[in-house]
Chain A
């Protein structure tokens, strides 16, 4: 009985909800549409509440580092937990408008924003060094990739036209036509994959979400 509740009921629930969502699209039955709408709202609420799941897990890991005084790491972890607690408390002082707290707003506007932009941009360095150290035209496949990449890069940069007047036209061809077969293939193949995945879920054969191997 415990196994039925832990497994079979869950797979059945997943399948039923999947069918309801599909039926909602194809059938204009008010009851089905209403249930589907309500389930979507519930999914939104669950997703929203799950936003802090990652935070809880990370705080657990770092708290463990502090408790065990892991050398070289524990003081950084302590700082992280402190910042998390401080900013959360500051935000909770006015949950409807956290930015009304001047310290929260200052940390958000100047620390969080700057660090976010900085982290997002750091990969620019790595792509430049990868271009130099890793991108070798070892065979025809790699050569085609590099040729297409170089023309698109020089098309994106206005200086490409200064180097050679034909670069924008060739780069535009790679961008507008050359890449279409590949991108279209990815879309088609991924769509069939999603359909196959969905049918496996409907049949209860897809169990990866629940931490099991089918």
Chain B
């Protein structure tokens, strides 16, 4: 195979022309949620820093995190956190080369979507 021209062969389907499926959407969402969590982390760290600084600074950060906008970020972050956690568990399962067949992959995908919302509702109710 040493002299085969490899510059003009068909490539595997890429994001832009790949028909969206449960498996591909749940996969890209793992990446998006994981990276988006930096926003929630930033808010939490700022809140901790403010609490360690002074009562006045804490009042500002606490006000922001408990405002409607702060609550929206925290709610989104909780969902993202559970979604990414369940997605991570799915990766740990797949790493053992099990559950990769389509029926199981679809079941895992739905478990991921439904599970993340259930865990978010439980978190909001409990805390």
A and B bound? no
Residues of chain B whose beta carbon lies under 8 Å from any beta carbon of chain A: none
- Interface, chain A (partner B; CB < 8 A): none
